[in-house]
Structure 1
Amino acid sequence: MKMLIKYNELPIKEKLLFLEALFFVFLAKILLLFLPFKLCVSILSVNKKNYETPELEQLKQIKKAIRRTRWLSFWKNQCIVMSIASRWMLQRRHIHSLLSLGVAFDENKKLKAHAWLRTGEIGIVEKGGNFHELYNF
């Protein structure tokens, strides 16, 4: 109930951005569940030549909208899903981004994977650790 009250207090522009982020987050999760990862990567690797220079405020709003969807994401691999959804949101606005996949070992010597997305020097989905970058597109 508290979340609905917070949502209702948002300005209309932020509400719409949140709904867009939520749509893309769930679409990305469905894509990852039902399609092979190699096909998912090829879908995301669309290159457009007419990129626009993003405004810092616009990037911050997209980042905030994606982060707001976390409380509705009940699955473990949130980073890849949020990175894909963010990528789609940026592509809709003709903003170039770089989605990276990496691995690291935790304190128990267990391998863990992470995905992050950045545009220029701005991290939309943060790298957050000492991950070794294996692949980016």
Structure 2
Amino acid sequence: MKTLKKYIDLPIREKLIFLEALFFVYAAKILLLILPFKFCVRILSTKKQNYENPEIEQLKQIKKAIHRTRWLSFWKNQCIVMSIASRWMLQRRHIHSLLSLGVAFDENKKLKAHAWLKTGEFGIVEKGGNFHELYNF
């Protein structure tokens, strides 16, 4: 109930961006469940287009909206889903982004994977940790 109250209290612009983020988060998860990853990469690759210089405030709103969807996602691999959804939101606004995939070892020497997305120097989904970048597009 408390989270519904928080949503109701949001300004209309933030509600709309949140709903867009929520739609793209679920669409990204469905895409990853249905298609092999190599096809997902092809779909996510950027086409040459004219990019606009983003306003930092706009990027902060997208980042906040994407991170607000975390409490509605019940799966483990949130970073890749959030990165894909963020990428689609940025592409709609003609903002260039770089989606990166990397790996690192945790304290138990187990391999863990992570995805992050940034536009310029601004991280929408943060890299965090000491991940070795394997692929970006």
TM-score, normalization by structure 2: 0.99
| 1:1-137 mapped onto 2 (5 Å cutoff) | 1-137=1-137
Number of matched pairs: 137
CA distance in 2, matches of 1:123, 1:5: 29
**Secondary structure in 1 aligned to 2:129?**
coil
**Secondary structure in 2 aligned to 1:46?**
coil
- For residue 47 of structure 1, report the CA deviation from its aligned partner: 1.6
Aligned residues: CA RMSD: 0.5
**Secondary structure in 2 aligned to 1:61?**
helix
**Secondary structure in 2 aligned to 1:51?**
coil
Q: Which amino acid aligns with 1:16?
A: L
Q: Which amino acid aligns with 1:53?
A: N
What is the identity percentage for the equivalent residue pairs of Structure 1 and Structure 2? 86
Ranges of 4+ aligned residues in structure 1 off by more than 6 Å:
none
> Which runs of 5 or more structure 2 residues have no equivalent in the other structure?
none
